[in-house]
Amino acid sequence: MLQQCFNGLVSGSFYALLALGLAVIFGMLGVVNFAHGACYMLGAFGAYVALARFGVPFWAALVLVPALLFLVGAVLERALIRRLAPLDPLYNFLLTFGLTLVLQDLVKRGYGVQSQPYPRPAELTGSVHLGLFDYPAYQVFVLAASVVLCAAVWLVLTRTRVGLVVRAATERPELTGAFGIDVGRWVTPVFGFGVALAGLAGVLAAPMRAINPLMGADLVIAVFAVVVIGGLGSVFGSVLAGFAIGLLQALGNLYVPALSQTLIFIVMAAVLLWRPAGLFGREEARA
């Protein structure tokens, strides 16, 4: 059971990183970025291409690939997302859905549909003794890195002036603008940051999961459910829900395997019936 709990927390690490980016993007822009899963896939393929073609090791890719995807996200926001911002949110949803198909098809044309291998860093190929059992060192690193990164983002959002402005613009964009703060200037970097988090999650996933053009297709649906459970636009709620859902699914695999893949949606339905805005969301924030 303890091993399954660690498996769940590792899965929750990816949910948390992806949900964190989605929550910030939705909170500030009101955009349901369906291309988030494709950005996660690009992060994994970016690490693969960097190693296969240029010999860039994992540790360098862990920095370079998210930085590159930050620029990609900034360009997408400036060139496409911003143009549809005044329209019904459905238009941006359809746009990002279309971007997902385009990005997947481009990767398919370049690398096919077969999964690509990516080796684990030599420093993290062994196991770590955790008292009652041994656990793969790389999975321990992923969990630790995710917790540290989420904590760092939380500290920036709650302890710095820049974070205060971004958080206010994320959770209360109309009220923030009413106080004279130019919310628009923060839109591009925040969107790029959300995409970079998806890319970082993809790089972390590369040594663990099969790298293929559709690797983010199923995951993004689960991440949307996580964001809804935590509360649309709630950064803290999305991260907490990400780890909790990963843990719940792992325990479901152990005790009720027939329902393990649908548990997340059962929980989402129950939460929506109880609190339509999510566990940590505020209904009046989206009024």
pLDDT digits (tens, 9 = 90+) for 95-147: 999 999 999 999 999 999 899 999 999 999 999 988 888 899 999 999 999 99
Q: Which residues pair with 116 in a beta bridge?
A: 211
Output the pLDDT for position 11: 93
Q: In terms of DSSP H, where are the helices of 112-183? A: 137-159, 161-171, 173-178
Sort strands 134-136 and 127-129 into parallel, antiparallel or unpaired.
antiparallel
pLDDT of residue 284: 52
Contact 199, 191 (CB under 8 A): no
**Number of helices followed by number of strands (H, E) in the chain:** 12, 2
Residue 255 clears pLDDT 70, i.e. is over it: yes
Q: 58-76 and 184-205 helices cross at what angle (nearest 10)?
A: 150
**Which residues are paired to 211 by β-bridges?**
116
In whole angstroms, give the CA distance from residue 284 to residue 287.
5
Q: Residue 128 corresponds to which amino acid?
A: V
Selection from 176, 273, 183, 165 nearest residue 228 by Cα:
273
- Residues in the chain, total: 287
Burial of 20 (0-12, 13-18, 19+ CB in 10 A): buried
As a whole number, mean pLDDT of residues 280-284 equals: 68
Q: For the residues 53-70, what does the mean pLDDT come to?
A: 96
Domain borders along the chain are: 2-113+124-286
* CA gap 28, 174 in Å, rounded: 10
- Of the ranges 10-14, 157-161, 261-265, which one carries the lowest mean pLDDT score? 157-161
184: left (phi over 0), alpha (psi -120 to 50) or beta: alpha
The sign one gets for the Cα dihedral 219, 8, 151, 158 is positive
The two structure tokens encoding residue 135 = 């656990």
**What is the spatial distance between Cα 265 and Cα 48, in angstroms, rounded to a whole number?**
32
Residue with tokens 């920095």: 63
Query: Is CATH 1.10.3470 the right assignment for the domain spanning 2-113+124-286?
Result: yes
The model's confidence at residue 12, banded by pLDDT at 50, 70 and 90, is very high
Q: What is the DSSP letter of 80?
A: I
Q: Could you tell me the two tokens for 214?
A: 């559709």
Helix (H) or strand (E) holding 48, with range, is: helix 36-54
pTM over 0.95: no
Burial classification of residue 252, based on how many CB atoms lie within 10 Å of its CB (0-12 exposed, 13-18 middle, 19 or more buried): buried
Degrees (nearest 5) of the Cα angle 188, 191, 196? 120
Quick check: 211 pLDDT over 60? yes
Identify residue 20 by its one-letter amino acid code: L
43 vs 5: CA distance, rounded Å = 26
H or E, element range at 134: strand 134-136
- Per-residue pLDDT reduced to its tens digit, 212-229: 999 998 889 999 999 999
